[in-house]
Amino acid sequence: MKLVNPDHTSAIVDLINTSPYFSLLSLNVQTIELGSCILEVHLEEKHLNPFGGAHGGVYSSAIDTAAYWASYCSIPEDMGLVSVDLHVDNISPVHKGKLIVAGKLIKAGRSVCFSEATVEDEKGKLLAHGTSKQLVASGLQTINHVLEAMGRDALPPKFKD
C-alpha cells in the first residue's frame, strides 16, 4: 500500500475547514490519516435545539464527516466517495462544551467503504455513535470537484512514491 502524503492531508484539512457547510456549523477537522479522522465542534447557540441541547443534526453531520474522511485515504487518488447510508444513534444530550468526533475506517472495498464514528464530550462521555457506507466512484465527488467548487488550485499528491 502507498504511503499517504501528509502535505496532501494537511491541505485537505485547510480546504474543508473553510468550506461553506463546515464554516456554518463550525466543524473543525483536526486530522485526516489512513483509516481515521478527528474533528471538533465547540458548541455555540447556533447548534442548540429549542430544548437547549445540541441538535441531533449536529451529531449526524459530525459523524457523517468523520466517517467520510476516515475512508478518504484508502481510495485511489482519482476516485471519489459518496455517502449512501448513515445510521446515527443519539445516546446522550449535551448543552455546552466541545464535541470530539473520531471517525474510523472499518473496511475499504473497491466499490464500498464502511466506517464508523463516535461523538464524545471533553470528559470522554459517549454522546452519539454512527456508521456510514460510502460508494467509491470514478468521477463523483473527487477532490478535483472540491477544488473546482471552492476555486482553489491543485493540491500536493495524495500518496508518496
**What pTM, to 2 d.p., does this model score?**
0.95
CA–CA distances in Å: residue 108 to residues 17, 67, 71, 86: 24, 12, 7, 16
User: Residue 43's domain spans which residues?
Assistant: 3-152
Give domain status of residue 24, yes or no. yes
Residue type, 107: K
CATH of the domain at 14: 3.10.129.10
Across-strand partners of 105? Answer: 115
Q: How far apart are CA 126 and CA 129, in angstroms?
A: 8
Tens of each residue's pLDDT in the chain, 161 residues:
689 999 999 999 999 999 999 999 999 999 999 999 999 999 999 999 999 999 999 999 999 999 999 999 999 999 999 999 999 999 999 999 999 999 999 999 999 999 999 999 999 999 999 999 999 999 899 999 999 999 998 999 999 97
Give domain status of residue 14, yes or no. yes
| Number of domains forming the structure of the chain | 1
User: Which of 118, 1, 16, 95 lies closest to 48 in space, CA to CA?
Assistant: 95
Q: How far apart are CA 133 and CA 138, in angstroms?
A: 16
Give domain status of residue 91, yes or no. yes
Contacts of 154 (CB under 8 A, 6+ apart): 147
All three cell numbers of 77: 487518488
